[in-house]
Structure 1
Amino acid sequence: MTTVITNANVFNGVDNQLQENVSLLIENNVITQIGDVDLSLASEIIDAKGGTVMPGLMDAHVHITMSAPFHELDKMTREEVAIRSAKVAEGMLMRGFTTVRDVAGNTLGLKNCIDNGYATGPRILPSQAAISQTCGHSDYRQNQAQERTGIHEDSPLMKTGAFKVADGRSEVLRAVREQLFMGASQIKMMAGGGASSTFDPLDTIQYTLNEMKAAVEAASDYGTYVAAHIHTADAMRRAAEAGVMSFEHATIMDDDIAKTIKDKGIFVIPSYFTSSLIAERKIPLGNEALYQKTERVGKAMFKSAELIKKYDIQNICFGTDCVGTLDVHKTQSEELQAIETVFDSLTALKMVTSNCGRLFEMSTYKHPYQEGKLGQITEGAYADLLIIEGNPLNGVSCVTNTETQKLIMKDGVVYKNTL
């Protein structure tokens, strides 16, 4: 299959200006030429009508299997979770998200079904189970009557495979290697207290330096990296020393850790829209203690943005952290507008495209999609792209609006076309 897109302007995912009035040649699932293209090569021609071709959107922090509040997920069978997850994934693709990194969820089967054409959704870079210590952010026992003995979890939510508890260097090594065996592209671990978990205060530092180093060593031996759920500066300092390269949230920064993040090239994945939702108590959490923790996180996130700007931290990526009902997942695109408000249009666009692509490349040979580049419109990149009516550099509303989002293509296949 050879497709030519004509009459297009191109935002390549990096530059602050468009490449105007060009054509793109797509052979099967890869962009092979941008510029003047011989139309006789085409088996299909798509007229962009002066619209902007840009990379498909990317989300570095999703939880596809979490389609309901945790107390409801605790009552669901694995089959229910799987069917609901397929619905969540399809919604992401139809919002223009062509690649996501799932950072706590048993998504390998869904990923394989999408890749093989049995389900519709974005490319998925799975982390499989998020790993934490006992009484950490992945220990989702809902009360102190639930017991954990060996590998047998009393919490139905933990039985879904989204969370894993491991203590001590040897258990951590085994847990990391299990996720790698199950197809993890990268490893997710919990390095500090969580806002949505009951028994770990936000200021706790989770995992000793030796345990955390064990996870980093096991991941790097397989060519990949560790992403850490993390909120406080003290927890970030320990994670940075251990070699963690992706900070999820990085909420309560100080100048010292901001400098370290910059110097070490650590990636930061904040969530400004979700932070505003939880600060305003618009996500159901179940009890007052959790609301108090989330309010603190929501307010601190915007202060950390000032440090990101102060120290010119460039390794920042788009991540939504949507958890809950389908209506919550539908707010995914609104994160882009929140980022534009905190930073600017170009920063928001790079965060949702090329920056995520650079982050995902740290998985090296554990990266499941290696035929082309992701997050860019360049020759040799995957044909994962959108055609937008308008210029996204002038404002991202044309990217998030389904009326101006005219075409969605993933892997050379068109899933929406209203041109």
Structure 2
Amino acid sequence: MPGLIDCHVHVTAFTANFAVLERTTPSYVTAKAMQSLKSMLKRGFTTVRDAGGADHGLASALEEGIFKGPRLLFCGKALSQTGGHGDMRAPGDFAKAFDCTCAGLGRVCDGDAEVRKAARDEIRKGATHIKVMAGGGVSSPTDRITSTQFSIMELKAIVEEATAANIHVMAHAYTPRAIINSVKAGVKSIEHGNLLDEESAKVMAKAGTYLVPTLATYDALAKEGKKDGLSEEMAKKIYDVLDAGKRSIGIAKDNGVVMCYGSDLLSEMRKYQLSGLSMMEDSGLPAIDVIRSVTSNAASLLGMEAEIGSIEVGKIADMIIIRKNPLESTRLFDNWEENYVSVIKQGRIVFNEFTDA
């Protein structure tokens, strides 16, 4: 079958505590990212889209074959308002927001001029897409899951800059308000979307906006988040969105929203990268649609349908060979080591069960 595509990863996030990540030397972060990328490729992911943290250097090193890993699309730093999902300062922290030279996942910008400058800067640094924090999140210390972030005018300004550079915008958004604001602004994909309702699903479907559910990360965070650096306050947010995320799959399906696979896993929890596939099926999405979400739909979202996402003459031969038919059950991916035979990237075997070549 075609090589797998993960539309939401954080390859530099070696810890679930993003404040720690921002204080860590970039050389260490890069070394950890190299390990993570190699493991992703071995799991069958031949292309990944980073949602904050990866940069031109990592993508170039992969392209040059300096180390093994999937094809990497990157946004640089995600754009966040002050006090938003990309602002990792605690309530009592009076320091200025970190600038974009640190190893963190986000950068803070406010108002038309700042958001345009931040978007243009990430584009200058080679970003293949732009990430915006359009609502609250689990791993940020001062916002709420129910928050909307950035005004519609700020979001439109960011989309305008991305469109001018012929790249797309992905938006972190949980609530219907945050989703609808993002769609109105012209983003191409909604990330997470756990609190999606009928109204926001219809708005997405009409606009042709993709949904990238990330079910695997909430299940993993519930199991191991605190061990991997998530604070008690952040851990409490997980259960607000875990069950809702499963319900959102059915709502999206019933309203014709096109879905693409995302994992969004951090640190050692990336070992669960494939688990979201069976979770999507368990949430009511037929196996064929789960497979499309991680292959052809994902390729379309990335604008790479002429190159990847299916096995056809003229494409670049990203493939995996597995022992069982995933159309019968996607649960085979939960036992990857038992079921995979080979991972092929651009026509070359990069891993197989016998040699791990």
Q: Under a length normalisation based on structure 2, what TM-score does the superposition of the two structures give? A: 0.93
- 1:65 corresponds to: 12
Q: 1:303 to 1:399 in 2, by over 3 A?
A: closer
- 1:265 corresponds to: 208
Counterpart CA distance in 2 for 1:346 and 1:158 is 42
Q: Is the 8 A contact 2:79 2:131 kept in 1?
A: yes
Aligned counterparts, 1:258-297, within 5 A: 258-278=201-221, 280-284=222-226, 286-297=230-241
Q: Is the 8 A contact 1:388 1:398 kept in 2?
A: no
1:214 and 2:157 correspond: yes
The one-letter code matched in structure 1 to 2:270 is: H
Q: Which has the larger radius of gyration?
A: 1
1:301 and 2:245 correspond: yes
Q: Is the 8 A contact 1:275 1:299 kept in 2?
A: no
The two structures, once aligned, show a CA RMSD in angstroms of: 1.9
The one-letter code matched in structure 2 to 1:89 is: L
The one-letter code matched in structure 2 to 1:82 is: T
1:84 and 2:26 correspond: no
- 2:317 corresponds to: 383
- 1:355 corresponds to: 297
Structure 2's unaligned 5+ residue stretches are none
Q: Deviations over 1:3-50 (max 9, x none)?
A: xxxxxxxxxxxxxxxxxxxxxxxxxxxxxxxxxxxxxxxxxxxxxxxx
Deviation beyond 4 Å, 4+ runs, structure 1: none
Structure 1's unaligned 5+ residue stretches are 1-53, 362-366
Counterpart CA distance in 1 for 2:346 and 2:337 is 20
The one-letter code matched in structure 2 to 1:390 is: K
- 2:352 corresponds to: 417
- 2:271 corresponds to: 330
Q: Is the 8 A contact 2:23 2:102 kept in 1?
A: no
Deviation at residue 399 of structure 1 after TM alignment: 4.3
Q: Is the 8 A contact 1:110 1:119 kept in 2?
A: no
**Which structure's relative contact order is higher, taking Cα pairs within 8 Å and 6+ residues apart?**
1
What is the total number of aligned residue pairs between the two structures? Answer: 349
SS of residue matched to 1:300 = helix
Aligned counterparts, 1:114-133, within 5 A: 114-133=62-81
User: Which is worse superposed, 170-179 or 340-349?
Assistant: 340-349
Q: 1:301 to 1:391 in 2, by over 3 A?
A: same
Aligned residues with identical type, % of pairs: 33
Counterpart CA distance in 1 for 2:119 and 2:247 is 33
- 1:145 corresponds to: 93
Deviation at residue 298 of structure 1 after TM alignment: 1.0
Q: Is the 8 A contact 1:65 1:107 kept in 2?
A: no
SS of residue matched to 1:205 = coil
Q: Under a length normalisation based on structure 1, what TM-score does the superposition of the two structures give? A: 0.79
Counterpart CA distance in 1 for 2:62 and 2:54 is 14
Aligned counterparts, 1:1-400, within 5 A: 54-70=1-17, 71-148=19-96, 153=99, 159-278=102-221, 280-284=222-226, 286-313=230-257, 315-325=258-268, 328-342=269-283, 343-361=285-303, 373-400=307-334
Q: Deviations over 1:330-349 (max 9, x none)?
A: 11011112122222211111
Considering fraction of residues, name the structure with more strand. 1
- 1:33 corresponds to: none
Deviation at residue 74 of structure 1 after TM alignment: 4.3
Q: Deviations over 1:290-314 (max 9, x none)?
A: 122221011211221221122132x
Q: Is the 8 A contact 1:55 1:375 kept in 2?
A: yes
Deviation at residue 289 of structure 1 after TM alignment: 2.4
Q: Is the 8 A contact 2:225 2:235 kept in 1?
A: no
